Amino acid sequence: MASKKLIVLGSVNADHVLQVDSFPRPGETVTGHGYKVLPGGKGANQAVAAARLGGEVGFVACVGDDDFGSRMIKAFRDDGMDTRAVMAVPDMPTGVALIQVAANGENSIAIAAEANASLTVEALEQHLEYLGGAGMLLMQLESPIETVELAARTVASAGGKVVLNPAPAQPLSDDLLFNLAMITPNETEAEVLTGVTVSDEDSARQAADILHGKGIETVIITLGAQGAYCSGPDGAQLITGFSVKATDTTAAGDTFNGGLVVALQEGKAMDDAIRFAHAAAAISVTRLGAQTSIPNRGEVEEFLT
Ligand code: ATP
């Protein structure tokens, strides 16, 4: 029988956030305020979400050998994660996102993979036995694609389920798609993967059918405030989300994915698992930030009662 272990593989970033009145033009300097360095990266966000929401989570990632990297490893442990496969890369900074937020709410973001680029096939090969013990593996696309492909092959061939949140959007090889048990694109990512412009239930169904044709059993397309369209062995339906006053949707998708895999790993039925994930993501959009906005299990259970 497959282990109950849930493994998340992905990126870790230091988000450097600065508020500005308006973005600087080339050559211009503007004065900002409210500078903060916040924990981010889709891999870390989803791993933290899964751990806070009740999962027994192992994380596979690379951080730099800098202060932020060591603080992140400690924070992951404080959230109850197994960090044996979080590697600190010598002479490398942790991945970084430079984020300017303008007064009108618009973002301007520059990112650099830095240590995340060191999560190579060779680095992953040190942890293949660990990875092979996953009952479920959750990944995104902020890591080298060959590594994502190897991890998917390893877990699928050992009988585990591979879930891919294909963000940021990019075309994927048929080999990778074939090893997935489940894919969870948002509307933009679904369009990049299928060519179908997704905006509602009908277009989501068309996109899901194309992805089923690539060998993926379950397709969940998240539709922001509308909820998520789920198509799998038990049928297809739009499952609406919860209506809340959204303050900041950063990491809504990451919280949804973390909650979804935890609920499925516990054996919840698909529609219950999606409702649990919707609740976790709905709470996160009422709060500011990425990892700072992710709720814990107790908060979600209270929200659902
Ligand atoms: P992000 O990039 O902002 O993290 P995403 O584009 O990956 O998110 P979305 O499809 O926008 O993902 O949202 C994922 C899930 O988050 C939705 O299925 C829903 O559960 C929840 N969600 C997002 N926006 C809202 C909202 N305004 N109100 C309630 N729930 C929301």
Q: Which residues have a Cβ under 8 Å from the Cβ of 176 and sit 6 or more positions away?
A: 145, 148, 149, 152, 164
Helix (H, G, I), strand (E, B) or coil at 170: coil
> What HEC string does 226-286 produce?
HCEEEEECCEEEEECCCCCCCCCCCCHHHHHHHHHHHHHHCCCCHHHHHHHHHHHHHHHHC
Q: What is the ipTM of this complex?
A: 0.97
How much is the pLDDT for 3? 43
Rounded Cα distance between 267 and 55, Å, is 12
Distance 28 CA to ligand 1 centre (A): 35
Does 208 contact ligand 1 (Cβ within 6 A)?
no
Distance 249 CA to ligand 1 centre (A): 6
126-166: per-residue pLDDT in tens?
999 999 999 999 999 999 999 999 999 999 999 999 999 99
Does 303 contact ligand 1 (Cβ within 6 A)?
no
**209 included as an active-site residue:** no
Which of 91, 254, 271, 272 is catalytic? The answer is: 254
169 has a pLDDT exceeding 60: yes
Atom 7 of ligand 1: nearest residue by CA position: 253
User: Could you identify the atom of ligand 1 that is nearest to the CA of residue 186?
Assistant: 10
Distance 190 CA to ligand 1 centre (A): 14
Neighbours of 90 (CB within 10 A): 9
33-55: per-residue pLDDT in tens?
999 999 999 999 999 999 999 99
Does 227 contact ligand 1 (Cβ within 6 A)?
yes
Looking at beta carbons, which pairs linking 102-110 to residues 24 or more positions away fall under 8 Å? Answer: 102/20, 102/21, 102/22, 102/23, 103/19, 103/20, 103/21, 103/22, 106/23, 108/23
105 has a pLDDT exceeding 80: no
How much is the pLDDT for 4? 63
1-43: per-residue pLDDT in tens?
334 699 999 999 999 999 999 999 999 999 999 999 999 999 9
Does 165 contact ligand 1 (Cβ within 6 A)?
no
How much is the pLDDT for 250? 85
205-222: per-residue pLDDT in tens?
999 999 999 999 999 999
Rounded Cα distance between 283 and 292, Å, is 11
49-94: per-residue pLDDT in tens?
999 999 999 999 999 999 999 999 999 999 999 999 999 999 999 9
Atom 23 of ligand 1: nearest residue by CA position: 224
288 has a pLDDT exceeding 90: no
